[in-house]
Structure 1
Amino acid sequence: MAANDAERPLRKDASINRERLLDAARELFAEKGLGVTLNDIAHHAGVGVGTAYRRFANKDEIIDTLFEERLEAVEAVAREALEEDDPWIALTDYLRRTLKMQFGDRGLHQILDDPTLGDERIGDVRRRIAPLIVELVRRAQEAGVVRHDFAPTDVTFIQSAMAPIMNSTRDVAPELYERYLTFILDGIRSDTREFTPLPTPALNSETTHSAMTRKRRAAARRAR
């Protein structure tokens, strides 16, 4: 019993230090990008460097942890949206909730957008999230609540299009991106009016993946 009692505070301290390191990493990634070191993260978290290396072997482990946490959260949002009976509410709720997550986590945005990272993490998104988006859009189309030419890959580009608005207005008008999201959602919703024909078709999944990872591939070529 004495040995077990002695271990409990250590486990609690380890958990607290781990969360401090993750919070510090989010802040530093957002402020300075992914070039910061594990030492920088430890100092920002207010813990010793040795403590940092006991919790994480290197900075990549922190990046992987943050990415996996957020990926799980996005997947949960998508699955919850699919439980909604109204296909329009399901699709738009997914967009609004994931954009709010993106807005509130600058560190995550740095991780997702950094061109030096490989495609493996983006591959995880494609395998786990893309099929859920396909189903959300399929339901909306079958219900006739979105225009017939709206595609699952359009969801990806809507999310990407909001990022510059979020970043440039975060400190002066934090809700402004929702204005432009509303414009877009009104543009995809189906009703009795005629839609203007789109000037170009939606990209397929492979081309979308290529477009979204172009910076990463270019950075990898330059590094060789």
Structure 2
Amino acid sequence: MLRSDARDNRDRVLEAARELFADRGLDVPMREIARRAQVGPATLYRRFATKQALIDAAFDAEMRACAALVRDGCADPDPWRGLCAIIQGATELNARSRGFVDALSSVPDGVSVPDHRRVLLRSVEGLCRRAIDAGALRPDFVLDDLVLMLLAARGLPVASLDARLAAAHRFAGLALEAFRATSEAGPLPPPARLIPAMLPSLDHTSATTSQSAERGR
């Protein structure tokens, strides 16, 4: 168990990291986080040996919330409704913290993708296949499109949290209308393979969803 002073230092570091990551993304230097927390660099590295360890700890609540979103969405008997709930919730998490998507996809060189992230992607992939098979999700949708939407949402207004959340809700609604299967939908350009670039060990995730899309045509 940490001593009270060590626990206070850790709490200050995490609070500073959450604030800076939320405002500016994950490129904030560790020394700047230490200054914001009013601790020395040695104290910071004693608590968090690597930046990835700090990122994981700082975004623990968001990761748990994301996992709950995916679990609840996949449990919905209506796959389209479940997917809508996941997209709306993930877009809001993204609006609350600019570092959320980066944290979700962050994998240091030489480190395997954490199991919990792999499970999340596999679960969403399965839900998307169900929604395609139900005729609700457009058949040429690939999982990379969801990542693309979340990356695009990082450009939402940053003037205030309320403004970002309002924009996020509108953006999610527009994206869902683009994802919805309709008889009038025209073909999309080739998909951008984003998941292999971010999570190399999941390079067949999008292909699986794409194959389902081909069957749905």
When normalised by structure 1's length, the TM-score is: 0.68
Distance across 2 between alignment mates of 1:107 and 1:187:
25
CA distance in 2, matches of 1:26, 1:213: 23
1:110, CA displacement in angstroms?
Answer: 5.5
| Residue 155 of structure 1: aligned partner | 146
Distance across 1 between alignment mates of 2:129 and 2:105: 28
Identity of aligned residues (%): 30
The answer to whether the aligner puts 1:198 opposite 2:187 as a matched pair is yes
Distance 1:87 1:58, change over 3 A: closer
CA–CA distance in structure 2, aligned partners of residues 195 and 119 of structure 1: 45
- Higher helix fraction: Structure 1 or Structure 2? 1
Asked if the contact 1:146/1:188 (under 8 Å) is kept, the reply is yes
Unaligned runs of 5+ in 2: 201-217
CA offsets, 1:14-57, max 9 Å, x none?
A: 4443222112113334448535234x323312345554344223
Q: Indicate conservation of the 8 Å contact 2:91/2:150, yes or no.
A: yes
SS of the aligned residue for 1:106 comes to coil
The amino acid that maps onto 1:161 is A
Letter in 2 for 1:95: I
Question: Among residues 171, 182, 190, which one is paired with 1:180 in the alignment?
Answer: 171
In the TM superposition, what is the alpha-carbon distance from 1:161 to its structure 2 partner? 2.2
Question: What corresponds to 1:141 in structure 2?
Answer: 132
Structure 2 counterparts to residues 116-127 of structure 1, below 5 A: 118=109, 120=111, 123-124=113-114, 127=118
The Cα RMSD (Å) is 3.4
How many residues align structurally? 195
Q: Which amino acid aligns with 2:189?
A: T
Change (3 A) 1:194 1:56: closer
1:112-147 per-residue CA deviation (whole Å, 9 max, x = no partner) reads 688x953747x3376232201111112212322222
Match of 1:101 among 75, 88, 93: 93
Amino acid of the structure 2 residue aligned with 1:18? R
**Residue type of the partner of 1:149?**
D
Amino acid at match of 2:30: T
